[in-house]
Structures are given as structure tokens and as C-alpha cells.
Amino acid sequence: MTVVLLEAREATLIECEIASAGEIKRCADQTWDPAPYQTDSNGQRLLEEIERRLLAFWKERGREPAGIVISLPGTLQGIDTIRSSSRLGIRESVGVTKWMQERLKKKCHVFHDVECLAIGENRYVVAPDCENTGSQCLVYIFADEGVGAKIIMNGLAYVGAGVAGILGRLIVQPDGAYYKALRSSGALEVFASRPWVSERLVSTYQSEEGKRGSSYAVSEGSKFRKALRIASERDWTEIPYDRIADGIAEGDPVADAVLEVAARYLGFAINSVITILNPHRIVLGGRMITELPGFPDRVVRYARQLSWPLAWNQTDISISKLGRDAQFYGAVELWRTVQSP
């Protein structure tokens, strides 16, 4: 089978095999940038590019799979339709399964990216270490190009009446910035996702640039400051993780101030999860967590400060051990679940 891991700035095609004993063998992969194809609200250009890439990938490998699994961000309807995806620029309902089956003559299912991450982490990391995982509650919280979460109860995703666990939409500051894609003000995603952190880094830099006596004044020759200057003249959301990490390593006050705010709001959201659900485990994943040194420690510190002891002491918080690999394994596990009689 072929797994498609689709995010706003990176897409990966993975060919894999499932052995008779259940082992998953990763055979080949290919990564590409899907951003240029996210220009229409119905996702047609993006689907056409995925189709083209799949055909070339299979031709290069000299074999075609039995089915296709697509894992992506957004709001899904069942396992065949994208209702919307702000990160992929999709605002109209898209029947992905129907498209792939008609064009490529393959079985196809669509799963949410954070659900795949949560299922993969739960199945391959949490379950082997826990005797009673079937009766436990795990919440996977993902901070990257967006912010999401998935609740796993009794080994299965919990969605409540349909969309439980979409943490990025949690309003943490009602008077905060308006996010057109989410049609709300002050959502967690505008504080703790990379594009918005990047924008705040640039705006903080610009507001303090050239001010006498500013506490944000440092040498302008660092990699981080160069990135800020370049982004300020182009796209404010373009500062990548490695440049943000440079700012942390350099002790730049702009990076420190902005990331402290992001950590506070993410910690606030985690406290909400702990207070309402009091899950056995919370796993933190995404590149905001794994690629920004010290950021997860700040997040956990705020969550601890805000939480009450009885709930806090019964919830274990850890960093994802599988990283993005969890998304691949989770997608395969969900495929197997759907295919099982």
C-alpha cells in the first residue's frame, strides 16, 4: 500500500508492506512541497498533483499498491471526505476517496493527521509500556504548522458528537487576533503554531527596532536577526524552525518573549485538558515541541503552575518518542482496522 502524509509545506509518499504476522515494512519514500498546489478552495489542483506524484512514484518502483491511505489536517467526514482544511486552503467539501478510486482505480481512505499520530504513539510506545492501556485515556497534543489534539479512550479515538479534541480552536484570549480560516478570535492556534509565532517574532522585532534603550536591542549580525530582517520585508510567517532555534540558542530577547507567550497559552490549554478529562497520559508532539530547545519545558511549567495538584499528579506528560513516524504507523493501523471484517 502507499501512505500519503500531507501537510501544508511537506508531503511524503511512503510505500509499505504488511507481513502476515502484522509487521509493517517501510520500503521506499519520496518527499515534495505541496504548497504551490494549494490555490483553489476545492483542492482540485492539490489532488491532481497527488495523483501525478503517485503515478510517477509507482512507475519508478515498478509496482502498484492495493490501496492508498491519505493522512492530512482538517475536518473530515467519515474516512472518505474532507469537509475543510484551513492549512491546505480547502474550504469546500471534497470527496477524496471517490476521486482516487475513479482516477487511479485503487481503494482509498482518508484519516486525520493527529488521529494517526495519536494511534501510532499509543500502539507502538504507550501500549507496550502499559499493562492496562485498554482502559486508559491518552491525549496527543500536536503543535506544528497548526495546533491539534486527539483523545484516545480504550484504544480508540474519541470524537464525542463529532469533533471533540480540536484543541487549536480553543479560545484562550477572546480579544486576541482574528483568524479568518477558523472564523474566531484568540484561538490557541494563533499563539502556539509556527506561522503565528513567526509573525509575532517579526512584529515584536519591528516594533522595537531602532528604539533607544530597548530591552530587545542586540547585535543585528546573528542568523536569527538576519532571518527577522528578511521576513519583515517579505512574508512574516516564513521564519523556519531552525532560525527560531538559533534565536533560542543565541538568547535573543525577541525569541524569548514570543516563545514565552506561546508556551503560556499552550500550557493554559493543557491545563484545560487535565482539568476536564484528567487523562492518564498526555503526549506532546510536533516540531514546536521537538525542534525548539527548551520550549516544551516552558509549556509543561505553565501547565503545572495552572493545574490543581489532584488532577496534575495523576496525569503523566511526555514528549513523543516516534515523532512523525507515529503518523505513518497510525495511518497503517487505521487502514488495517477499516479493512478487517
Q: In angstroms, rounded to a whole number, what is the distance separating the alpha carbons of residues 217 and 246? A: 16
pLDDT at 338: 87
DSSP state of 40: S
Q: What is the pLDDT of residue 68?
A: 95
Q: What is the pLDDT of residue 131?
A: 56
Residues 263 and 148 in one domain: yes
Whether residue 56 is contained in a domain is answered as yes
pLDDT at 75: 87
**Average pLDDT along the chain:** 91
In a domain, 110, yes or no: no
pLDDT at 129: 61
Q: Mark whether 256 and 223 lie in a shared domain.
A: yes
Residues 142, 192 within the same domain: yes
The CATH number given to whatever domain includes residue 272 is 3.30.420.40
Domain membership flag for residue 216: yes
Q: Verify that 202 and 101 share a domain, yes or no.
A: no
Residues 8 and 50 in one domain: yes
In the chain, the number of structural domains is: 2
- The torsion of the CA quartet 256, 260, 262, 264, rounded to 10 degrees, works out to 180
**Paired strand residues for 318:** 283
In degrees and rounded to multiples of 5, residue 281 shows phi and psi of -140, 140
59 assigned to some structural domain: yes
For residues 26 and 144, membership in a common domain is answered with: no
Same domain, 71 and 141: no
Q: Are residues 168 and 307 in the same domain?
A: yes
Domain boundary among 105, 138, 160: 105
Residue 197 belongs to some domain of the structure: yes
What range does the domain containing 70 cover? 2-105
Q: Are residues 47 and 194 in the same domain?
A: no
CA distances from 50 to 43, 92, 163 (A): 11, 18, 27
pLDDT score for 87: 85
pTM greater than 0.85 (yes/no): yes
CA dist., res. 3 & res. 316, Å (int) = 31
Q: Note the pLDDT of residue 221.
A: 83
Whole-number pLDDT of residue 157? 87
Tens digit of pLDDT for each residue in 275-306?
Answer: 999 999 999 999 999 999 999 999 999 999 99
Is 155 within 8 Å of 134 (Cβ atoms)? yes
Same domain, 307 and 223: yes
Q: Do both 237 and 95 map to the same domain?
A: no
Which residues are CB-neighbours of 21 under 8 A, at least 6 positions away? none
Q: What stretches in the chain show pLDDT beneath 70?
A: 127-135, 340-341
The three-class DSSP label of residue 222 is coil
Do 24 and 64 fall into the same domain? yes
